[in-house]
Amino acid sequence: MFQSKANFKVTDSLPLILQIAHFLQHKGIKGGYHLEEVARTRGWLDVLVRFRLRRDVSIDIPAYADSYDLSNIPGYEHELIGLIHSHISKSEKPVLLLDCGADIGLLSALLVSACDCIDKVFAFEPNPRSFQRLERNLQLLPVDTEAKNVAVANFSGRGELRYPEHDSDDHAAFIVPVEQGDIPVVKIDELDLASGCRVLCKIDVEGGELAVIEGAQKTLSSSSEFTVVFEAHREQVKRTGIDPLKVVSLLNEFKKCKAVVAEEPDKVIDFDYPFFEQFPNRIYNICVFSE
């Protein structure tokens, strides 16, 4: 969870106590995780660490954040980033990045850093705490950006964030339609994006992936080509009953597509069987490339 304080000191290195904690953890020495938790609860990690990536990209991440491995931010989701880069960098034509469920903007920053062809970022994040940091991080990117404090789905209106039984963390929250809800909800197609552009759509909305695609049919169908990346989460599939392959099948109705699992790119997906009967782990990233 991210605090809303805006006046944290910005530093280029992790606090020393956190470096020591990480050293103990990586060496398997007892006490490393306890030391990190003590430092977090006492406020010793209340600083922003500025990570500098290629292409003059920077991102600020609170040192107290426990959602990322701060010892290796450039390597975060490296398999996914590499797969996307190898595909969209085949052409120099500009790419529009739609980051649905952007959190604080880490994946946007890594994608912009890796892919020179990305020249515009629209980022959507419904959680107000994460959104404050997202706005500031997008300002550090060397491309045009726009941040929206909204959820993305297949309807326009209001909703609220709810949490699954297995996880109360902000990163597990999902949107449900509620007429008097405190979260605005939009469809991608309402943005009236210029047709004919190349689109990279990253979706991390905790079970609402199919709804996002349903609300982006016009945008994706009218693009010159699209890449859609979404998270397949075993627990979310149990909650929603929606198999990740339903998302791929819908995208195939827009344009002929090829789907690749970033963590196992050489394994062929069989659409005759449920996804998690073929892939046994808990979480995967699926990349869908229009042909």
**9-53 pLDDT per residue, tens:** 999 999 999 999 999 999 999 999 999 999 999 999 999 999 999
Query: Which of the four CATH numbers 3.20.20.70, 3.40.50.150, 3.20.20.60, 3.40.50.410 does domain 77-290 have?
Result: 3.40.50.150
Closest alpha carbon to 84 in 99, 70, 104: 99
How far apart (Å, rounded) are the C-alpha atoms in residues 7 and 283?
35
DSSP state of 243: -
Confidence at residue 206, expressed as pLDDT on a 0 to 100 scale = 84
Cα torsion 136, 141, 143, 145 to 10°: value is: -20
pTM: 0.92
pLDDT in tens, 96-138: 999 999 999 999 999 999 999 999 999 999 999 899 999 999 9
Maximum Cα–Cα distance for the chain, whole Å? Answer: 56
Give the range among 43-47, 188-192, 285-289 with minimum mean pLDDT: 188-192
For residues 102 and 108, is the Cβ–Cβ distance under 8 A? yes
CA atoms within 13 A on the CB side of 147: 23
In the chain, the amino acid numbered 81 is I
Confidence at residue 176, expressed as pLDDT on a 0 to 100 scale = 80
For residues 59 and 137, is the Cβ–Cβ distance under 8 A? yes
Residue-range domain boundaries for the chain: 1-73, 77-290
Give the relative orientation of helices 32-41 and 16-27 as an angle to the nearest 10 degrees.
150
